[in-house]
Amino acid sequence: MLEISELRKRFAGGSEAPGGKVALDGISFAVRPGEMFGFVGANGAGKTTTMRIVMGVLQADSGSVSWQGRPLGSDDRRRFGYMPEERGLYQKMRVAEQIEYFGRLHGLSAAAAKRATDDLLERLGLTERRGDAVQALSLGNQQRVQLAVALVHDPEVLVLDEPFSGLDPIAVDALAMALQERSRGGVPVIFSSHQLELVERLCDSVGIVSGGRMVATGTVSDLRAAESDTLRVVVRDPAPGWADGLPGTVTVNGDRHVLHIADGDDQEILRRAMKAGHVEHFGVQQPTLTEIFKEAVA
Ligand SMILES: Nc1ncnc2c1ncn2[C@@H]1O[C@H](COP(=O)(O)OP(=O)(O)OP(=O)(O)O)[C@@H](O)[C@H]1O
Ligand SMILES: [Mg+2]
């Protein structure tokens, strides 16, 4: 298990924050083998800083990171796969050469590095670009190479900073599948993302960070259970003012009125809706991760 415990980090302040800027204010969470952990939070919340500390790129002021019950060291980190926020590829090196090179750097034999590279090129749809210099690739294709570099040495742990950003839907699916495979094979996977539908779809658990603190962690269904469900009612062509006085919001879409309401007597609301017009939909809706997120960081 990868355990992040009470990380604190303050950056020296500029003129705006002479006392320094607190980036992390006691971040703790754990990622178990085989778990896919989605790390979400607003811009500047502290995701990248946390990942950099895990990967030893930055020192925390205090707190600790442990792997399999021991403090995480540089030998362990060599067996981790990391995709940094600042992408770091050799622009002039050819795609396949580059992935193999990083494989060798992480201790693979030449044959193993070549095998893993060919496999990743295929999976990430890069086979035809294998001989191109990285600088000749589009942004999304460079991103795919960066991912291949993070995955080539069959890492024990994956730490990926916004791995899905800039990928087209086909590449998103290919990456999602590759990560799920690794995670089912027992690898803890942490990735940050602003694409919350994706996080909701892929992750076993989610951590929501805000202002350098973890404000919510748990499975998506745990997080959902902590929020109240809303009732969604769609009425076609209702009498004007039909929902007046109800503590919900109505959005109008053509002749359809959609009411979202968190409290109230559902039977009474149904009667009222039926009296007002043709009820097309009446059902309880669980909050989406986006709604949970907005609530948690508000
Ligand atoms: N090298 C640095 N010097 C000064 N402040 C920094 C430095 N790196 C990060 N910060 C500050 O630390 C806070 C956390 O930044 P971080 O990059 O971890 O956020 P993030 O959650 O990754 O955001 P994003 O979603 O935009 O990538 C921000 O307020 C940022 O300005
Ligand atoms: Mg970041």
The verdict on the CB of residue 207 being under 6 Å from ligand 1 is: no
Average pLDDT estimate for 9-31: 86
Instruction: Find residue 191's DSSP bridge partners.
Output: 38, 160
Q: Are residues 115 and 163 in the same domain?
A: yes
Give me the half-sphere count of Cα atoms (radius 13 Å) on the Cβ side of residue 87.
21
CATH number of 288's domain: 3.30.70
Total tally of structural domains belonging to the chain: 2
Residue 20 has what pLDDT?
83
90-110 in b/e form (b: 16+ CB < 10 A) is eeebbbbebbbbbbbebebee
Q: Are 211 and 25 in contact (CB under 8 A)?
A: yes
Q: Are residues 19 and 119 in the same domain?
A: yes
Q: Are residues 14 and 78 in the same domain?
A: yes
Instruction: Find residue 158's DSSP bridge partners.
Output: 81, 189
Q: Are residues 197 and 253 in the same domain?
A: no
Q: Are residues 286 and 232 in the same domain?
A: yes
Give the end of a domain, one of 167, 196, 225: 225
* Ligand 1 atom closest to 49 (CA): 18
Residue 274 has what pLDDT?
94
Q: CA 35, CA 183: separation in Å to the nearest integer?
A: 6
Q: Are 1 and 30 in contact (CB under 8 A)?
A: yes
Give the end of a domain, one of 210, 225, 240: 225
pLDDT at 281 exceeding the cut of 90 = yes
Q: Are residues 195 and 52 in the same domain?
A: yes
Q: Are 105 and 85 in contact (CB under 8 A)?
A: no
Q: Are residues 264 and 210 in the same domain?
A: no
Residue 197: phi and psi, rounded to 5, are -65, -35
Q: Are residues 7 and 109 in the same domain?
A: yes
Average pLDDT estimate for 158-181: 93
Give the end of a domain, one of 225, 252, 280: 225
DSSP class of 133 = B
Ligand with smallest separation from the Cα of 46: 1
Q: Which structural domain range is residue 157 located in?
A: 2-225
Model-level pTM? 0.86
Q: 277: which residues sit within 8 A by CB, 6+ positions away?
A: 235, 236, 237, 238, 239, 242, 257
CATH number of 169's domain: 3.40.50.300
Q: Are residues 208 and 133 in the same domain?
A: yes
Q: Are residues 68 and 207 in the same domain?
A: yes
Q: Are residues 136 and 235 in the same domain?
A: no
User: Tokens at residue 209, please?
Assistant: 């960070």
The verdict on the CB of residue 23 being under 6 Å from ligand 1 is: yes
Q: CA 119, CA 199: separation in Å to the nearest integer?
A: 25
Reported as a single tens digit per residue, the pLDDT across 89-139 is 899 999 999 999 999 999 999 999 999 999 999 999 999 999 999 999 999
Q: Are residues 274 and 199 in the same domain?
A: no
The verdict on the CB of residue 44 being under 6 Å from ligand 1 is: yes
Burial tier of 135 (Cβ tally within 10 Å: 0-12, 13-18, 19+)? exposed
User: Tokens at residue 256, please?
Assistant: 């359809």
Give me the half-sphere count of Cα atoms (radius 13 Å) on the Cβ side of residue 152.
31
Which residues, chain by chain, have CB under 5 Å from ion ligand 2?
47-48, 85
Burial tier of 37 (Cβ tally within 10 Å: 0-12, 13-18, 19+)? buried
